[in-house]
């Protein structure tokens, strides 16, 4: 997708992890480019501070292509496994553990092990245990899945700092919710409020003809 610019009026706090009845869910995050770390940052922004650590599992190809996650604010347990099937097994076992606050699994491409049945097992396990589960899909197409929410993410230029317009500011992502069982799909610009540990979404401009006119006011509003 091209032609998106942040619109910074009326920030909307957004927390997609809990279901309306309070249960956890399985969600998927796809980066629009294999080398883009947008999906990793987006998922990390969802993981809430808790006494229990979260479990982060990565297959071999994801580790080679994207490296290690970096998180200082929330304790987590790291697992590096060679095969996608082992990652899915570890994720399901992690969802059985009440000592975890969340389970995240990184997978490269569209492995045969991740079919609809495997995703259904994870979805049912997450909702039964009350532990949210994220699948980060690097270099993958959106195949058949039982995930309750599916996102496409793309990194945007960081928001400007008020004191130094040339310095990098907070992370911004173009977030497309293209499938959901509980809410209407749409496009947003997502930002992370580090102080409040909160993910905010604002409407994204999708008309490329409006880019030039929208860019300057959006940056002024951000300051």
Residue 190 sits in a domain whose CATH number is 3.40.50.300
The pLDDT value recorded for residue 208 is 44
The pLDDT value recorded for residue 205 is 62
Conformation bin of residue 31: beta by default, left when phi > 0, alpha when psi is -120 to 50: beta
The pLDDT value recorded for residue 14 is 43
Per the CB < 8 A criterion, the answer to whether 44 and 104 are in contact is no
* Positions in the chain whose pLDDT score sits under 70: 1-23, 48-50, 72-73, 205-223
The pLDDT value recorded for residue 206 is 52
| Total domain count, the chain | 1
The pLDDT value recorded for residue 124 is 95
The pLDDT value recorded for residue 35 is 80
The pLDDT value recorded for residue 178 is 94
DSSP string, 2-46: ---EE--SS-EE---SS-TTS---EEEEEESSTT--HHHHHHHHH
Domain of residue 70, residue span: 5-222
What lies within 8 Å, CB to CB, of 164 at 6+ separation is none
Report the number of secondary-structure helices (H) and strands (E) in the chain: 5, 11
The pLDDT value recorded for residue 114 is 97
State the Cα–Cα distance between residues 149 and 181, nearest whole angstrom.
7
């Amino acid at each position: 997708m091209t032609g998106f610019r942040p619109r910074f009026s009326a920030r909307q706090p957004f927390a997609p992890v809990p279901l309306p009845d309070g249960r956890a869910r399985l969600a998927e995050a796809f980066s629009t480019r294999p080398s883009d770390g947008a999906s990793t940052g987006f998922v990390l922004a969802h993981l809430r501070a808790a006494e229990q650590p979260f479990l982060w599992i990565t297959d071999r190809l994801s580790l080679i292509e994207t490296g290690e996650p970096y998180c200082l604010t929330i304790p987590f347990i790291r697992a590096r496994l060679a095969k996608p099937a082992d990652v899915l097994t570890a994720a399901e076992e992690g969802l059985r553990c009440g000592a975890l606050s969340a389970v995240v699994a990184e997978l490269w491409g569209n492995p045969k092990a991740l079919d609809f049945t495997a995703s259904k097992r994870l979805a049912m396990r997450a909702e039964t245990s009350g532990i949210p589960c994220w699948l980060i899909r690097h270099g993958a197409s959106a195949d058949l899945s039982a995930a309750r929410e599916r996102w496409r993410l793309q990194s945007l230029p960081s928001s400007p700092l008020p004191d130094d317009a040339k310095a990098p500011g907070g992370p911004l992502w173009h977030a497309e919710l293209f499938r959901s069982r509980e809410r209407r799909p749409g496009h947003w610009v997502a930002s992370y409020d580090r102080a409040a540990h909160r993910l905010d979404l604002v409407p994204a401009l999708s008309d490329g003809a409006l880019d030039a006119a929208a860019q300057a006011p959006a940056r002024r509003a951000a300051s």
